[in-house]
């Protein structure tokens, strides 16, 4: 069969490779799986129940959960089959954002997961006139359990509706996490997302029946599109929690996945743990560890390490890394933020290929991706088949061959919901074609296979402009700094200032190791970051990377911050990161105003 609507992927699975374990998750001490037939049955019964409850095509229904779970897929498929537009929500957004999104989309019902989500949505309901019902994915007295909606009486009607769903019809509205202002609802059709799923499945050469581990938020278009791709061929296992990935009983060891997608931050943390473990070794073992690590410095895809020295390093060091990640990984695909090249090299050289891709919610999401045949570290890969990518050159501000990335193709969004003015702002016409302005700066570079690879150099809106009128792209500087084990988080500043500086949060594990080496008594991160030895070590990091950038881009001063930046704050204050772990630069500048003032006061 030909997949024309997103729910067709499930029927494609049944027709081509029905699975006994299509989607599963651990519940209590047991792993519970839906077969292909059970997924289809549950989706049809829920769709039938929604029709009997009075919901109809064009209505909006939301769902929200702290963890990915099979119920999400059932709800997603069920709503699509009868033309209901689903509106996924991030669980960690503020109460104000819940109210804004639910009102803006005029959501009529919401499916919620466990913990405090029912209370959050119930509280928002008081200020959302359209929201009539809340269904829970977990049984609890006094609440409407989602399975009570299941009925078979209208399944024939469901199938009739499904046959008539237009591939170009609106399937979902995904509200961007945003770093400033109210979130915007990105309208995506079945065709938008299917275009990307089919193109990336071809380029990544997925294998029928392989195991995929899912833990990135399903409410984000990156993981959501990936889930449809998995339905195309793979068995999906939802993670029990990102804090339970590693260790002997963690999900990586239990599931032994062949594939997963992630954001760079998680791999940075894994690398930090590996590095810290190496630091704790002694004697010959420690020398061997760092000798093996050094071997990866110049690794490139397509030029695998070989020879006697590598064989030793692989047997004694790298094989243990692969085993720690389950022992069966064919690849890890990263997106949503820049991937530090050093970390991509380390994992890839160790036999765990890290393939970086690029896209936005507005582009469904993928525009380019590295794959098994063509990959270049430090780039986001080749443009996918269906996309027309254009670089609007502005070499004066961004350098040779660089400019804003414009994209056209069947994957580009229908627009921002209820915001025609905002929609008009992000489209431009070139050669009688409408292009979407990504707001990202990039250029094409030559790479393996004689192909052109896209390299992202920065966000247009995040460019700094010094008081001397020079533009500085912070992302490449930040990415390079984070390659040092001591630097956990960093934000480059200097907009309207005479020179560029950095706010830096050191890694606590690396700090403790440094204190041990320097015979500094460990008290707290807040106290230790004031020590001259620590400040000197950070200055060494900066001195090492400064020559890689032009004089105006070089960091002249820095300030160490003790508290890590987080995507959610338990004290109710504004978070410093978006749900996809991007820096909220305005929020950070406000919170660190005194630190910034101190940097520039002299």
Tens digit of pLDDT for each residue in 461-474?
777 878 777 778 88
Domain C-terminal end among 406, 429, 462: 462
Tens digit of pLDDT for each residue in 5-56?
999 999 999 999 999 999 999 888 888 999 999 999 999 999 999 999 999 9
Residue 246 lies in a domain: yes
Let me know whether 246 and 141 are in one domain: yes
pLDDT tops 80 at residue 561: yes
- Cα-flanking dihedrals φ and ψ of residue 379, to 5°? -125, 170
Residue 183 lies in a domain: no
Residue 392 lies in a domain: yes
Let me know whether 67 and 53 are in one domain: yes
pLDDT tops 70 at residue 178: no
Let me know whether 92 and 48 are in one domain: yes
| Residue 437 pLDDT level (bands cut at 50, 70, 90) | very high
User: CA-to-CA distance for 94 and 521, rounded, in angstroms?
Assistant: 39
In DSSP notation, 162-194 reads: HHT--TTSEEEEEE---SSSS--EEEEEHHHHH
Token couple for 98: 């819940």
Sheet harboring 382-383: ordered strands across?
30-34, 23-27, 235-238, 211-214, 259-262, 331-334, 354-359, 366-369, 382-383
Residue 411 maps to which CATH number? 2.30.38.10
**Half-sphere exposure of residue 338, counting CA atoms within 13 Å on the CB side?**
28
Q: What is the pLDDT of residue 299?
A: 92
Let me know whether 268 and 228 are in one domain: no
CA distances from 112 to 63, 67, 94, 521, 602 (A): 6, 11, 16, 47, 52
Residue 41 maps to which CATH number? 3.40.50.12780
Let me know whether 531 and 542 are in one domain: yes
Let me know whether 378 and 512 are in one domain: no
Let me know whether 474 and 451 are in one domain: no
pLDDT tops 60 at residue 180: no
CA distances from 602 to 89, 531, 540, 561, 599 (A): 45, 21, 22, 19, 7
Tens digit of pLDDT for each residue in 387-407?
999 999 988 878 899 999 999
Let me know whether 247 and 274 are in one domain: no
Residues 6 or more apart whose Cβ sits within 8 Å of residue 336? 220, 222, 263, 264, 580, 581, 582
CA distances from 596 to 175, 468, 502, 525, 557 (A): 32, 18, 9, 19, 10
Number of domains present in the structure of the chain: 3
Residue 511 maps to which CATH number? 3.30.300.30
User: CA-to-CA distance for 553 and 288, rounded, in angstroms?
Assistant: 36
Let me know whether 235 and 139 are in one domain: yes
Instruction: Determine what percent of the chain is predicted with pLDDT higher than 90.
Output: 65
User: CA-to-CA distance for 83 and 171, rounded, in angstroms?
Assistant: 7
Let me know whether 444 and 591 are in one domain: no
Residues 6 or more apart whose Cβ sits within 8 Å of residue 63? 72, 75, 76, 86, 88, 89, 110, 111, 112
The secondary structure of residue 363, as a DSSP letter, is G
Tens digit of pLDDT for each residue in 232-253?
878 888 887 777 777 777 888 8
Tens digit of pLDDT for each residue in 310-349?
899 899 899 999 998 999 999 999 987 788 899 999 999 9
Let me know whether 249 and 266 are in one domain: no
| Residue 181 pLDDT level (bands cut at 50, 70, 90) | low
Q: What is the mean pLDDT of residues 551-556?
A: 90
Let me know whether 27 and 134 are in one domain: yes
Residue 104 lies in a domain: yes
Q: Can you say how many angstroms the Cα of residue 297 is from the centroid of all Cα atoms in its chain?
A: 26
List the beta strands (DSSP E) in 517-585. 555-560
Residues 6 or more apart whose Cβ sits within 8 Å of residue 572? none
Residue 91 lies in a domain: yes
Residues 6 or more apart whose Cβ sits within 8 Å of residue 465? 471, 472, 495, 496
Residue 192 lies in a domain: no
Read off the pTM: 0.84
Instruction: Determine what percent of the chain is predicted with pLDDT higher than 70.
Output: 98
Q: What is the pLDDT of residue 488?
A: 92
Residue 93 lies in a domain: yes
Q: Which one has a higher pLDDT value, 268 or 52?
A: 52
User: CA-to-CA distance for 386 and 260, rounded, in angstroms?
Assistant: 24
In terms of residue numbers, what domain contains 129?
8-165+208-257
Domain C-terminal end among 444, 462, 480: 462
Residue 171 lies in a domain: no
Domain C-terminal end among 439, 462, 485: 462
């Amino acid at each position: 069969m030909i997949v024309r609507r997103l729910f067709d992927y499930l029927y494609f699975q049944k027709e081509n490779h029905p699975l006994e374990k299509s989607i599963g998750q651990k519940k209590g001490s047991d792993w519970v799986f839906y077969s292909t037939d059970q997924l289809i049955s549950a989706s049809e019964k829920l769709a039938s129940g929604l029709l009997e409850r009075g919901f109809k095509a064009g209505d909006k229904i939301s769902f929200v959960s702290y963890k990915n779970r099979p119920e999400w897929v059932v709800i997603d498929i069920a709503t699509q089959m009868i033309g209901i537009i689903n509106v996924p929500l991030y669980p960690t957004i503020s109460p104000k954002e819940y109210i804004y999104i639910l009102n803006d989309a005029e959501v009529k019902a919401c499916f919620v997961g466990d913990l405090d989500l029912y209370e959050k949505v119930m509280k928002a309901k008081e200020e959302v006139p359209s929201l009539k019902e809340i269904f829970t994915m977990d049984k609890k007295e006094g609440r409407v359990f989602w399975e009570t909606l299941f009925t078979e009486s209208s399944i024939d009607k469901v199938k009739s509706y499904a046959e008539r769903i237009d591939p170009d019809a609106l399937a979902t509205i995904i509200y961007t996490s945003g770093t400033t202002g109210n979130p915007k609802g990105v309208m995506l059709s079945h065709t938008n997302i299917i275009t990307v799923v089919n193109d990336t499945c071809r380029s990544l050469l997925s294998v029928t029946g392989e195991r995929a581990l899912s833990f990135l938020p399903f409410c984000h278009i990156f993981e959501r599109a990936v889930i449809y791709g998995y339905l195309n061929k793979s068995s999906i296992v939802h993670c029990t929690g990102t804090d339970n990935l590693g260790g002997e009983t963690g999900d990586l060891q239990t599931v032994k996945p062949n594939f997963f997608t992630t954001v760079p931050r998680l791999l940075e943390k894994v690398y930090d743990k590996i590095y810290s473990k190496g630091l704790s070794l002694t004697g010959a073992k420690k020398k061997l560890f760092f000798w093996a690590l050094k071997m990866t410095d110049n690794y490139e895809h397509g030029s695998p390490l070989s020879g006697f020295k590598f064989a030793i390093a692989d047997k004694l060091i790298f094989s243990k890394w692969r085993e720690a990640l389950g022992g069966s990984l064919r690849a890890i695909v990263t997106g949503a933020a820049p991937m530090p090249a050093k970390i991509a090299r380390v994992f890839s050289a160790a036999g765990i290929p890290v393939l970086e891709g690029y896209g936005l919610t507005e582009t469904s999401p993928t525009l380019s991706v590295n794959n098994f045949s063509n990959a270049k570290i430090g780039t986001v890969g080749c443009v996918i088949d269906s996309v027309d990518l254009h670089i609007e050159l502005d070499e004066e501000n961004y350098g040779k061959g660089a400019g804003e990335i414009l994209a056209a193709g069947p994957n580009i969004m229908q627009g921002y919901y209820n915001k025609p003015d905002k929609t008009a702002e992000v489209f431009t016409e070139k050669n009688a074609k409408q292009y979407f302005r990504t707001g990202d700066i990039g250029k094409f570079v030559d790479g393996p296979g004689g192909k052109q690879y896209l390299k992202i150099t920065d966000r247009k809106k995040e460019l700094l402009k010094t008081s001397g009128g020079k533009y500085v792209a912070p992302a490449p500087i930040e990415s390079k700094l984070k390659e040092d084990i001591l630097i956990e988080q960093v934000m480059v500043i200097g907009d309207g200032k005479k020179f560029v500086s950095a706010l830096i949060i050191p890694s606590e594990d690396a700090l403790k190791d440094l204190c041990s080496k320097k015979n500094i008594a460990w008290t707290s991160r807040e106290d230790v970051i004031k020590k001259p030895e620590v400040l000197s070590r950070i200055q060494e990091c900066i001195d090492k990377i400064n020559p890689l950038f032009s004089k105006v881009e070089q960091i002249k001063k820095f300030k160490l911050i003790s508290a890590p930046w987080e995507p959610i704050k338990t004290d109710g204050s504004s978070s410093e990161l978006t749900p996809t772990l991007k820096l909220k630069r305005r929020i950070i500048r406000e919170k660190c105003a005194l630190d910034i003032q101190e940097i520039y006061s002299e």
